[in-house]
Structure 1
Amino acid sequence: MTWQRAQKLAARPTQASRWRTVVSGAAILVCGLVALRPPEVHAQGANSGSLELVDPNVFRACGDPRNMPFSNDKGEGFENKLAELFAAKLGKKLSYTYFPQATGFVRMTLGSYRCDVIIGFPQGDDQAQVTIPYYRTTYALVTKRGSGLEDVITIDDPRLKDKRIGVVARTPPSTNMAMNGLLARAKSYPLFVDTRADSSAQAMMDDLTRGEIDCGILWGPMAGYYAGKADPPLVVVPLLKEKTGPQMTFRIGMGVRPSDQEWKRTLSRLIKENQVEINKLLISYNVPILDESDAPITAETLSKQP
């Protein structure tokens, strides 16, 4: 998924649209999906959902070519690995349509029938039909070990008052920071970038490592991934105690065309059947995943499950 999509969700005034102010590494999705499929996509096949798919023998994923830890054109992201897993489970070949997750992403991928599933899509975004969620995550504070901020769990913590905080513009944390008078010293990073050339998350982590900012606030999957790549690794603290401001925790599923209901059911079934393996995959990328009570799901908690 991607933070721009979640950002867009959190910004809307209605319940479904309040989500449009979030997150993580993709793009704003402004173009709606085509509700009716053209006659040439009525392909036949034996697998579930095949009547809805252009090629029932191929798992056709939509992705961003440079949007780690989600996806890239080298197949290194966790969404790439999840697509590989599901393709194997269905006995299909895997193909990708890559397009930068910026304006027009849905229209140029799902909406143009170039691919059949966006592997990361937030629940509540009406640009597509969404499967059951396969993970739940939130924004997180990233800081250096020994900074004295390692146990900050809310943006209104007094220890942040005199700190220079990195934040991606127009994301939910920026609203909470404004409410607490923290924007005057903040360093802002752009929400909308061409991921083929720029990364606001990497720029923020570089500034934190150099000491140009005291801490940063990022969408959880990006915070965990980039903090783990830093030398030495940075500390990631999910912001789970926010009581005011926009929503900052989201459930992420997979996006399909509104007409592809059988395909949606097939993907939801695969999520249910492979949830433990999915959790292990996300943890391997340092994604901070949460259960419905906001308790962290870790390798240790998974090992204790029957």
Structure 2
Amino acid sequence: MQGIRQAPQKTSSARERRGLQLPQLLDHRYQLHHQIGQNRIGLLYAATDENGRGAVLLEYFPVDFCYRDPMTQDIFVYTAFQKVFNTGLSILRHEVADRQNNDLPEYLAISGSFWQHQTEYVVISNQDTMPLTEVSLDARMLMNFIDLVCQLQEQDIYPFILEPATVWQHPDGQIALLGFDRLQMALLAAFPDYDRIGSQYLAPELLGFSYAIGSWTTVYTLGIWLKTCRTELPKNIILRAIEPLPSNRIGDAATLRTLLREPHLLRSFKQHTKFRPSDWIRWLLLIMSFGILATIMILILL
């Protein structure tokens, strides 16, 4: 693996989780302007290339496993997570190659990647594309977003991580996804902390690591995402946008409508379906108790 340095065990601070100290020239081509998002993979920056064209850079910086040297800006990996970091880097490079070789209009176009500051930077080239966290969501965007999710499901693609920083809008109003779901899932499995970045957008089966990903997973994730939109869109607009969806297009559309009408159901369902090791112990003790009780009764009858 390319020149990754190890760091001793330590607890990351808020200062170490910050992005690069801007402005900075990367790869002698890209000038960073400001940070526009963060997810489990890393940080997103608005940038321009040497010709003044706009671009977005994704910095592979999973803060659960790394910290940044404030002087050199280099990324250091906690020793215990070196293997996880390397595995994630390999997955990231494979996903970048797949996206470059396959034209997927539902996802943001990728120009390439380069190595700097002991980590990988992915170049997403579209100066006018912005994450929905940076724009005001309206009813038309919402319909485009739902239609995008439906199109993916018809191809048996289930976008199960829909964080605000992963959903983007093109200048014509069309919606595209940042993607990298395989990498996000690998990082989640390696560090299953429910309070980490983006965990509140994950369906219960992902937090429980059942890996039974399907239409229901997308329904739940979309429900959570739409619930966060209520600060900008009235509830009746969201429900009206979902109403025409047939159940075979987006899993159980009726369930999604119910969850959106009763937002507390999303919260309570998620809380009661998280995987905890204590749940396995509780079930094991219960089975053992029944076994002991049955043995005693058989002995008495004999």
> Do these two structures clear the TM 0.5 threshold for a shared fold by scoring above it?
no
TM range (shorter): under 0.3
Larger helix fraction of residues = 2
Answer 1 or 2: higher relative contact order, Cα 8 Å, separation at least 6: 1
TM-score normalized by the length of structure 1:
0.23
Q: Larger Cα Rg: Structure 1 or Structure 2?
A: 2
